Structure 1
Amino acid sequence: MLTKRLERVAMVFLFLAILVALNTACANGGDRTGENGQSGKIRIVTTIAQIAEPLAVIGGDKVAVDSLMGPGVDPHLYAATQGDIKKLQSGDIVFYSGLHLEANMVKVFEQIGKERPVLAIGETLPKERLLKDPKGATDPHIWFDIDLWKQALGAATEELKKYSEADAAYFEANKKAYFEQLDALKAEALEKLGRIPAERRVLVTAHDAFGYFGRLLGLQVIGLQGLSTEDEIGLSDIEKTIDLLVDRGIPAVFVESSINPASIEAVVEGAKKRGHDVRLGGQLYSDAMGAGGTAEGTYLGMYRHNVDTIGEALASKEG
């Protein structure tokens, strides 16, 4: 209990320090040269790579994009550092996902928004298209619905066009070409996952990040943890999941690149004790993408990796 209180006190002091840094930076006008040193380009700063990489494609050679969170980083728990403040202040435009994904950074964005355009792209979407958990919390993992993500990226593109009207036609052309790739990816995903037998169309992961993915592609999704990785996993959650795996003969479950695999491993062991062998079907990218310079470091490559990994594991007759 004392440890929890000390952690809260430490977080309060960290938050106050960040506010001081923000106010100081705003008073100084920020670092307008930017860390990338690419003058003449629109400097975009984002939180997650799922926003950064597509905007780098849409923005082309007119933009320089910097993402705060790299591979393996959990945005639910992420707190801004002094280095992040410098990056945010060096940006011309800031984009973040919103919908409580970057919960520890909301006050930071409010401060930054006093000096430059800041947009939570997920909060531009129609509320009726957003998923909610049983407690009424909104699911922030919108990038797994390709149609919704196109809308969110479209809102970001409009912000870019507003910022640089002279480049509006260039951004629009790049967006149209990129969205054609997204449409092709959606068709590919529907075809590949359509091969999974009906009784095996269950996706079990460590936390509830794939709800939009399941809705779009026709899979039942079970996340041991809630929408946020701050949620606790109960023993009953594990037992119910084991029951489902045994009853439906599900052959595989999946770990996530940014989540501790312990809970999924417990499910595998529990099912084994019940006489049902469940294997780890592979690693999925949920809250973070892969390393830069790899296929999984792009939105298209990350999504395709997940589709291929899930399809191969659940359609297999092994296990």
Structure 2
Amino acid sequence: MKNNIIIIGIISLLFSCKTVEKDNGKLNVVTTTTMITDLVNNIGGDLVNVEGLMGSGVDPHLYKASEGDVTKLVNADIIFYNGLHLEGKLIEVFEKMGNSSKTPIALAEGIDKNTLIGSEYFASNYDPHVWFNIEYFKQFATKVSKVLAEKDPKNTANYKENEKLYLAKLGSLQKNIETIIDTLPKEKRILVTAHDAFNYFGKNYGFEVVGLQGLSTATEAGVQDVQKLATFIIERNVKAMFIESSVPKRTIEALQAAVNSKGHNVAIGGTLYSDALGDAGTVEGTYIGMFQHNVNTIINALK
């Protein structure tokens, strides 16, 4: 009920109020996930004001618009979000906004659907965790640069240069993690996590990915799910599984207890960043730092 009231309030403000511009005259950009926030900061730099709706450790599957989000959305010149129903609770807000002068931009909608991983858990019928394919994230960067330039043509050269620099960094990240992953034998590439956020990562780097909660954290894992995965871990002699920063760790701890009760020792190999980056101001608080951390954590635990 409260969320419906907020949605109505946002819609009313969109159609009746004038946007309040910030004193510095820069574009006001609102983003949803921390990955997109970091991306826009890299492309926009000091030329834009970026406000992210979600912070570190926030689960986008369950996120609901708060009263404090109303002002951010109303004052935005541009709104970037992931799409493919990742931000499930915000979809109604964005659909309504599409009828106003502000049309939120779903970055994942530009990806060739024939290359996406199918999913029956989302209304889009696709796995939305596309940022774990770096090539897709490069497409995000190009789209953000293009939209910023369209809204702020006088700074087009700056946005293009920032895009070029960031794409080069993403290319270096790709080479670096491929070198690290190559040190892990293929038979050991089994990634057990709280939910299936890593399917694109697994597809690219030859990992078999198994999540306790499936693709969406909105679906709770039951006793049968825990027992089934415990049996899988024992049969495949999996040495480690992983907690996710945006998912309560009790699910993995319950799984570990179930495995140990059957006489097989499985370690918790560390915490991975899945649906959100680490704390702002840290290395893991950036997309590149997050990806590097995840790969190092996975390889070190499974070796």
TM-score (norm 2): 0.94
Residues 155-208 of structure 1 deviation map (CA, whole Å, 9 limit, x = unaligned): 222111111222222111111111111111111111112212222110000011
Matched, 1:150 2:131: no
Structure 1: state its 5+ residue gaps. 1-9
After superposition, the Cα gap between the structure-2 partners of 1:28 and 1:252, relative to the gap in structure 1 and judged at 3 Å, is same
Matched, 1:42 2:30: no
Structure 2 distance, partners of 1:249, 1:191, is 25
Q: Which residue of 2 aligns with 1:201?
A: 189
Amino acid at match of 1:285: Y
Q: Which residue of 1 aligns with 2:93?
A: 108
After superposition, the Cα gap between the structure-2 partners of 1:112 and 1:31, relative to the gap in structure 1 and judged at 3 Å, is farther
Query: By how many angstroms is 1:294 displaced?
Result: 0.5
After superposition, the Cα gap between the structure-2 partners of 1:116 and 1:255, relative to the gap in structure 1 and judged at 3 Å, is same
Structure 1 distance, partners of 2:25, 2:43, is 17
Q: Which residue among 198, 202, 215 is the counterpart of 1:227?
A: 215
Structure 2 distance, partners of 1:238, 1:304, is 29
Q: Which residue of 1 aligns with 2:169?
A: 181
Q: Which residue of 2 aligns with 1:24?
A: 13
Matched, 1:57 2:45: no
Query: By how many angstroms is 1:133 displaced?
Result: 2.8
Query: By how many angstroms is 1:304 displaced?
Result: 0.7
Structure 1 distance, partners of 2:10, 2:47, is 29
Query: By how many angstroms is 1:134 displaced?
Result: 5.6
Matched, 1:128 2:117: no
2:3–2:65 contact (8 Å) kept in structure 1: no
User: Runs of 4+ in structure 1 displaced over 6 angstroms?
Assistant: none
1:96–1:121 contact (8 Å) kept in structure 2: yes
Structure 2 distance, partners of 1:98, 1:130, is 13
Query: By how many angstroms is 1:271 displaced?
Result: 1.6
Q: What secondary structure, in the 3-state scheme, does the structure 1 residue paired with 2:41 have?
A: helix
Structure 1 distance, partners of 2:214, 2:201, is 16
Query: By how many angstroms is 1:313 displaced?
Result: 0.3
After superposition, the Cα gap between the structure-2 partners of 1:174 and 1:135, relative to the gap in structure 1 and judged at 3 Å, is closer
Which has the larger displacement, 166-175 or 285-294?
A: 166-175
1:189–1:217 contact (8 Å) kept in structure 2: no
Structure 2 distance, partners of 1:31, 1:164, is 17
Structure 2: state its 5+ residue gaps. none
Question: What percent of counterpart residues are identical?
Answer: 41
Structure 2 distance, partners of 1:97, 1:281, is 29
Structure 2 distance, partners of 1:135, 1:88, is 28
Aligned length: 300
Query: By how many angstroms is 1:142 displaced?
Result: 0.6
Which has the larger displacement, 150-159 or 305-314?
A: 150-159
Amino acid at match of 1:74: D
Query: By how many angstroms is 1:262 displaced?
Result: 1.7
2:121–2:216 contact (8 Å) kept in structure 1: no
After superposition, the Cα gap between the structure-2 partners of 1:108 and 1:127, relative to the gap in structure 1 and judged at 3 Å, is same
Q: Which residue among 58, 64, 68 is the counterpart of 2:53?
A: 68
Q: What secondary structure, in the 3-state scheme, does the structure 1 residue paired with 2:238 have?
A: coil
After superposition, the Cα gap between the structure-2 partners of 1:61 and 1:17, relative to the gap in structure 1 and judged at 3 Å, is closer
Q: Which residue of 2 aligns with 1:5?
A: none
Amino acid at match of 2:106: A
After superposition, the Cα gap between the structure-2 partners of 1:125 and 1:245, relative to the gap in structure 1 and judged at 3 Å, is same
Root-mean-square deviation (Å): 1.6
Query: By how many angstroms is 1:234 displaced?
Result: 3.2
